[in-house]
Amino acid sequence: MEKFKLMNAFQIKGLMVILMILDHLRYINHLVSPEMSSFFTVISRCVAPMFAYFAVEGIRHTHNLKKYCLRLSILAGIVFVGNITLNTFFKIFADVLSGREQQILYRSDNVIFTLALGVFAILSVQEGMRKQGIWKICLYITSSISFFLGFFWGEWGTVILPFMFVEYFFHDKKVIRFIGYGLIEVISLVLPFGEPLYFLVFPFMLLYNGERGPQTKFSKYFFYAFYPIHLWIIAIINFQVWVQVQ
């Protein structure tokens, strides 16, 4: 299998970014046909699980897990505030331009929130393993709350939360890990908000050679910044399209 491990983390993330953009083009009204939009949606089902996989890699290799968790949480908060700001802006101007109340025009994606909850849940379990008595119980309860909050209310939560736990806690137990993958697929098929095509992530996991790639400030923060910025740009373009047809 080693001969298939051809790409480092930076290269795979770059490919995921391209797939992410293609998927999100459907947020711009009339830009792509329904058939093309469906195709882009299918081929991009690997993106969120792949970034969840790299989040687990970050947990394993970071020198400060608490700081890593805090960084993700801050980014999730920035995305949340940015989404609210854009939604408010669009709502006000849409009402003014149309002369009547309009529905919000922008979809508030925030998969970073789900990833942050996953990292926090794993961090809480780690800390709980080191504690005794009431502290252990409190940390395990905190982890459970984070897990179920992300599972039921986070974007891609039904896949990302269990996937991160399986990848982290059973990384060296191949049989249990594969059983976990299967259970995630069953959950995705049963629940109405599941993502049954998440398994498209596995070929990219096989391509990963375990190397991070370039280790610069740009490579470290680019993918954090790209996610919200490209969504906000797409939202602004979509609003401009809406304005033109009014």
Q: On the CB side of 37, how many CA atoms lie within 13 Å of its CA?
A: 11
C-alpha span between 71 and 116 (Å, rounded): 9
**Which two tokens mark 160?**
């990302």
Q: What is the pLDDT along the chain (246 residues), one digit of tens a residue?
A: 566 778 999 999 999 999 999 999 998 888 899 999 999 999 999 999 999 999 999 998 888 888 999 999 999 999 999 998 988 888 888 777 766 655 655 667 899 999 999 999 999 999 999 889 899 999 999 999 999 999 999 999 999 999 999 999 999 999 999 999 999 999 999 998 889 999 999 999 999 999 988 888 888 789 989 999 999 999 899 888 877 776
Q: What was the pLDDT predicted at 153?
A: 92
Query: Residue 128 in 3-state DSSP?
Result: helix
Query: Angle formed by the axes of helices 9-24 and 34-43, to 10°?
Result: 160
Q: What was the pLDDT predicted at 64?
A: 87
Please give the model's pTM, rounded to 2 decimal places: 0.91
C-alpha span between 64 and 9 (Å, rounded): 20
Q: What was the pLDDT predicted at 90?
A: 85
For 137-151, letters b (16+ CB in 10 Å) and e give: eebbebbeebbebbb
